[in-house]
Chains A and B, each alone.
Chain A
């Protein structure tokens, strides 16, 4: 399972993906369908913009006093019989889960979709310690059985088609073999397999969508009901949450119960929303652990511009409207957080020194569709531009930096710019063929692979204006 660390720079990974026609077609179809449905669902609410502002303000208020909120959450969870663990990084979080599993001597556990557990690469560590983690979300299960990684935060198997799933289930699911490719039949096979696991497994690991500090309530939002099974049937429940998921009050949830389903699956209401607080004797898991994961988040919080990233409620609306995601798919981003949110979250969590992650802020044409779609108004383009600044500052003097300085110098006054234009008109000579430039040298060569470049005209605007002024005198 890949965690946060991209193994390649984005432009390279994207090149591999962009040239796969089947993948492009799958992605285009799905993203466009969800996009249109979302617009309809959002259009139904006349006060959508006010709701977004409220979502933004609610998350910001919680983030402004995050340490207080977390301490309050810890106290209320404990008061209700739960146990709270603080994990500074991925390794600490993994160890906590392993320790709990070992204390109960389990060699198998069930999971309900949790990107946070993928972020810390939990499954691989559990496997090493002889504990098998079973994904119970249908798409996550598909990804797991095919030894693949998710490529979308809500539709993890968006890149797979039905025929692939049919072959996979026939091969991997015990007792199956003759399944047709009918969705009902495939879902039925998964249900048989999962039902058995729900009823026989002692321990579950879940993610967290929201946690309420004042009441100690934890919340998971999902569409298949697998979450409800994981959260109620096992004896031991471990929930892992990024520290930014905490809200102050119970009422705060209401705004997200409207924003989240409409933004993510274009539904008016979410199908399965589970809340639980601590432990209730004789009902549900008798042991509950909440792991509060930092893993770089405090650093993000400390950054005035980058902080807004922590408002994210992982609805995936930004992925579905992003023209870059649509052409590359999630794997190109090399992290469990793909798309526009991944392009800002991953490099911030890892730091700008990560030489692959620091190409992610460049993975955008800055078209702004993500900001318009984001239910908590994260100004993703603004953060992308800001992070590009952080990356170049980290890199120091490069050929690009020198080129930028040179252009900056030429632009430092009107007459210098005019001089530079005159030089460029001479300089372009050797490149011009048939009135256009069809191939540029060096770094700029990628541009002319699929586009011709117009040549500089003989007269610039400023030269024309000068002439006009002269003539009118």
Chain B
């Protein structure tokens, strides 16, 4: 399959290894990947903060960049949720019917990485090896908007050498919420404190998730606690092999 990557702005700027892992993983599974270097951001921050017009510009740009794609895969549940669920709303709010038609046409071809692997490619075992104790945090948008269900867990359970530890209160939001964590830092920090406590209780060395934005926040909290527990994107675990532990 010809896959167009959408690496997302945060991954591009702050977590290049996640993008690299995504490329390596998909290629290992025999897929052809393409990166359109004109891509930037899905517009989620703008829309969610209330800047509809600025978001619409980025939405139109996304449509221009991916109009001809067979499928678009991205290592982010949150950005995939933005495209699939909020692009049509944003187009409606903007009264742009042409855009609405285009996003409704494009949205079903857009996938978050784990749901693409499990549901579209039908792969549960990507042949990964990762010799660590790991706990998994299901991010809100992947879980409640995209409904990726246990796709990430199916993949993780088949990683060799890894101990997967159950996280108490896993379905509770970590408190990131984009600009929420800036505008309501105290509430966000209170939510984060519970999340990091639960992560530390598992005894894991690493917390993983399908979204680096949540991991940036969780990792920032764990680092402040000097806990020694790291955060690693799901793609980096899945890309790791016995020859090369990726992260």
Contact = CB atoms under 8 A, between A and B. Distances in A.
Q: Do A and B originate from a single complex?
A: yes
Interface of A: 10-11, 14-15, 18-19, 24, 305, 323-324, 327-328, 361-369, 371-372, 382, 385-386, 388-393, 400-401, 404-405, 407-408, 410-417, 421, 424, 436, 438, 443-444, 446-447, 449-454, 456-457, 459-466
A323 B172 contact: yes
Contacts of A449: 185, 189
A133 B133 CA distance: 61
Given A457-B16, A465-B37, 12 more contacts: A11-B185, A368-B140, A388-B48, A411-B41, A412-B40, A414-B37, A450-B192, A450-B193, A451-B223, A453-B216, A456-B13, A457-B15
A295 B34 CA distance: 55
Contacts of A461: 7, 11-12, 16, 18-20
A388 B49 contact: yes
Contact of A368 (B9, B12, B145, B176): B145
Nearest to B85: A382
Contacts of A361: 50
Contacts of B145: 368
A11 to B, nearest CB: 5
Interface residues of B, number: 66
Interface string B23-61: 100000000000111111100011111111010011001
A365 B188 contact: yes
Interface of B: 7, 9, 11-16, 18-20, 23, 35-41, 45-52, 54, 57-58, 61, 86, 89, 93, 140-141, 144-145, 172-173, 175-193, 216-217, 219-221, 223-224
B212 to A, nearest CB: 10
Given A411-B9, A413-B38, A457-B14, A401 B51 contact: yes
Given A364-B177, A368-B141, A386-B89, A14 B38 contact: no
Contacts of A386: 89, 93
A124 to B, nearest CB: 30
A395 to B, nearest CB: 9
Contacts of B19: 461, 464-465
A365 B180 contact: yes
Given A15-B186, A444-B182, A367 B93 contact: no
B177 A18 contact: no
B173 A363 contact: no
- From DSSP, what is the main secondary structure of chain B's interface residues? helix
B128 to A, nearest CB: 21
A361 B7 CA distance: 29
Contacts of A400: 49
Contact of A446 (B12, B38, B182): B182
B140 A408 contact: no
B220 A385 contact: no
26 contacts: A24-B190, A324-B187, A328-B187, A362-B184, A367-B173, A368-B140, A369-B173, A385-B48, A386-B93, A388-B48, A388-B49, A389-B93, A392-B49, A404-B45, A404-B49, A416-B40, A436-B223, A447-B185, A450-B192, A451-B189, A451-B192, A452-B224, A457-B16, A460-B16, A462-B37, A464-B20
B224 to A, nearest CB: 5
B36 to A, nearest CB: 8
B185 A446 contact: yes
B9 A388 contact: no
Given A323-B173, A363-B184, A392-B50, A464 B57 contact: no
Given A389-B52, A449-B185, A414 B38 contact: yes
Nearest to A413: B38
Scoring B11, B57, B186 by chain A CB atoms within 10 A of each residue's CB, the highest score goes to B186
Closest 9 CB pairs of A and B: A446-B185, A365-B177, A451-B220, A388-B50, A367-B173, A392-B50, A368-B144, A461-B19, A367-B140
A444 B9 CA distance: 19
B140 A19 contact: no
Contacts of B54: 404-405, 408
B70 to A, nearest CB: 19
Contacts of A389: 47, 50-52, 93
Contacts of B189: 449-451
Contacts of B16: 457, 459-461, 463-464
